[in-house]
Amino acid sequence: MLKIGFDFKLVDLIMRCIFTTFYKVCMNSLSALMHLARDDGLIKGVMVCRRSPQIAHILFADDCMLFGDYSIDGANILKKYSNGV
- Residue 70, pLDDT score: 65
pLDDT at 59: 78
| pLDDT attached to residue 39 | 82
- Which stretches in the chain have pLDDT values below 50? none
Please state, in angstroms and rounded to a whole number, the distance separating the CA atoms of residues 19 and 39: 30
What is d(CA 73, CA 28) in angstroms, rounded to the nearest whole number? 24
Give the pLDDT of residue 19. 66
